[in-house]
Structure 1
């Protein structure tokens, strides 16, 4: 039996979410985000002797998190990029309001949830449909699982929406309830999925006690 460790990216700057102007030279994470990812790497190094594969999505915050996590390991597998682990893009109607609302977390979340509900129902457009997002998340998980043979450990760094959607699929949670699952994920938290003959089995979700203990846990 193998295992896939899914790590949500560390805290990212606002422009990573399409809010404000992005500096092409800016790092994918904030200073706190790097600290979160390194602390998660330290915990994983106590739990896992080595990773046999290391995968990230193609977003800067996901790549930066993977490299920061792996700093805790003497032996590091080659970095593999699988863009199917990327986060969903904001629905089109939110792109014009995101910058104004991002500073007010509660207001931003209300508008985001409304936009996501429309996207899931097919009444809100985006760069991809929700059905396409669902399919690519499932495909990415299957590819990671294929690398997690008997006794093998795979590291994946992704985002809350993508990891949350995978967990929702594995637990049979209706698509309409997926956003509520995703917004509980803490930056640099760990979700563990076992890979066996019967398929994928979730054994832990959103582990972040190591971050909370040092008071560096954040949601955004």
Structure 2
């Protein structure tokens, strides 16, 4: 049985013009995840990232040797595009500036997207789930026994929901729980693909590292 370990990227630049940049905390989180995996004698024999800067940099900061493969199917859905489509380009200031409102709107907007109730998004819900499945097949069509992959919360939520046969809405409930640099683990063999661990952060489980925890 082989393992696929999926890491959510470290903390990015929430609230800034360019979200796709790791913060200093995000880089520290990524290094902590890599250190913990090595301490458990878990060293990957295949490295995969999405094409987003925050994903690639997280994998680099984790410090494992080897070439990094990229798959765009691991990139996060474009929430900014979904907002512009939902609000016809006139996104309320409160959605942009208030953290609680932002995440409540994120959840509700994704539910509408899943129901094909948003007109004109650049990517449909069906296209998103198809590319995530393509990325999963890419990662597991391998002779490697330990695959390390860095992605984002929505993709990880979809991977977990699909592996459990859960309804589409469950993807978003999972998405909102996933911590920066959290570890989600699957086992795979042939057509078998099963969840074995979700959203774990043992690298933050001491008094010294607890302050590293973040969600966005």
- Normalising by structure 2, we get a TM-score of 0.88
Q: 1:98 to 1:193 in 2, by over 3 A?
A: farther
Corresponding position of 2:213: 217
Corresponding position of 2:152: 159
Corresponding position of 2:66: 77
Matched position secondary structure for 1:108: helix
Corresponding position of 1:122: 116
Q: CA deviation at 1:117?
A: 1.1
On the 8 A contact 1:54/1:78 being kept in 2, the answer is: yes
Corresponding position of 1:205: 198
1 CA distance for matches of 2:134 and 2:18? 30
2 CA distance for matches of 1:148 and 1:172? 26
On the 8 A contact 1:148/1:154 being kept in 2, the answer is: no
Q: CA deviation at 1:116?
A: 0.8
Matched position secondary structure for 1:147: coil
Deviates more, 1:5-14 or 1:190-199: 190-199
RMSD (Å), alpha carbons: 2.0
Of residues 159, 162, 165 in structure 2, which corresponds to 1:172? 165
Q: How many residues align?
A: 207
Superimposed CA distance per residue, residues 75-110 of structure 1 (whole angstroms, 9 cap, x where no aligned partner): x12011111100001112367537643442221111
Corresponding position of 1:139: 134
Q: CA deviation at 1:50?
A: 2.6
- Normalising by structure 1, we get a TM-score of 0.87
Deviates more, 1:34-43 or 1:93-102: 93-102
On the 8 A contact 1:3/1:192 being kept in 2, the answer is: yes
Matched position secondary structure for 2:12: coil
Corresponding position of 1:113: 107
2 CA distance for matches of 1:118 and 1:93? 9
Deviates more, 1:172-181 or 1:45-54: 45-54
Which consecutive unaligned segments of at least 5 residues does structure 2 have? none
- 1:8 maps onto 2:3 in alignment: no
Q: 1:99 to 1:161 in 2, by over 3 A?
A: farther
Which consecutive unaligned segments of at least 5 residues does structure 1 have? none
Matched position secondary structure for 1:184: coil
